Amino acid sequence: MNDATVHNVIIIGSGPAGLTAALYTGRANLKPIVFEGLQPGGQLTITTEVENYPGFEHGIMGPELMDIMRKQAQRFGADCRFNIVEGVDFSASPFKVFVQGKEHLAKSVIIATGASAKLLGLPSETEYMGFGVSACATCDGFFFKDQRIIVIGGGDTAMEEASYLTKFGKEVTIVHRRDEFRASKIMLDRAKNNPKIKLLTNTVMEEVLGINENGKRTVTGARMKNVVTGESYIHEAEGIFLGIGHKPNTDIFKGQIDLESTGYIKTSKVNTYTNVTGVFACGDAQDHVYRQAITAAGSGCMAAIDAERYLESLHG
């Protein structure tokens, strides 16, 4: 049966952006509904220690941080539901949000569906994710002081992550599947001119190698294959970073709101408005530049304030 209530605000997504939006709209007494999505808590739930979220002097585990954010939002009345939104209809107000075949209505919607780092799809990559394998240099680079690091990819993300990682690692090897780079010349040149960076072209990573014993997992390297010669060999390293891009989780909004050609949601430069009045977007679903938990949380706060003011404007 459909939900006949017209909610003030429905929040789609439960990473730092969604849960901060929930906290603020909750405190504004808007009784937000949060549909948490496929990965409740978002990308931080697949990291280990988060050391760069302000307020936690000694760091905090990603899943714990997200649990705290959820509880803080719930304390102010956020109704967090472990459901996946299957579709939306933003053609008229109240907006429709479809969950498990059921329709939910809302005067405003905050989209905080985030983005997912692209992965290679190797079982060993999943096994060591958070234990030597990472898709975020800013989050995890610090853990690889004086160690050997591999970065996979040939675009700007890979170049940027590799350059950043030279602050920590003793050597950084960029592994790219072709011999031509997609990266912009300036970023490629910066990587080429960095004495700590080596470029390995025409090479793919076939398997992450490591030790997985008694619940302890440590990366020791990767099995590489030269795609020209067909030769397979072991490349030793302690850290492996995937820099093959991100995909915003915005498929369900296609045709409903304006998206960039890359899939990111178009928002106003000064606030979180999308092209549909009453629908707001925050976090990594609309930000391909900063992609940090703290910036996502900040934009979640902005979306909540924008939604609150929009709802006030409806009542004259």
Minimum distance of ligand NDP from residue 27's CB (angstroms): 35
- C-alpha span between 147 and 139 (Å, rounded): 16
Q: Kindly tell me which of 63 and 245 has the beta carbon lying closer to ligand NDP.
A: 245
Count residues contacting ligand NDP (CB under 6 A)? 16
Q: Kindly tell me which of 184 and 212 has the beta carbon lying closer to ligand NDP.
A: 184
Active site residues: 136, 139-140
- Which two structure tokens, joined as six digits, stand for 48? 């280990």
Q: Kindly tell me which of 264 and 273 has the beta carbon lying closer to ligand NDP.
A: 264
Binding flag, residue 298, ligand NDP (CB under 6 A): no
The window from 9-17, 32-40, 59-67, 148-156 that contacts ligand NDP (CB under 6 A) reads 148-156
* Contact (CB, 8 A) for 300 and 278: no
Site string for ligand NDP, 226-265 (x = CB under 6 A): ------------------xx--------------------
The window from 43-51, 66-74, 149-157, 291-299 that contacts ligand NDP (CB under 6 A) reads 149-157
The window from 5-13, 130-138, 147-155, 252-260 that contacts ligand NDP (CB under 6 A) reads 147-155
Minimum distance of ligand NDP from residue 197's CB (angstroms): 15
- Site for ligand NDP, residues 152 to 211, rule: CB under 6 A: 152-158, 160, 177-178, 182, 184
Binding site for ligand NDP (CB under 6 A): 120, 152-158, 160, 177-178, 182, 184, 244-245, 288
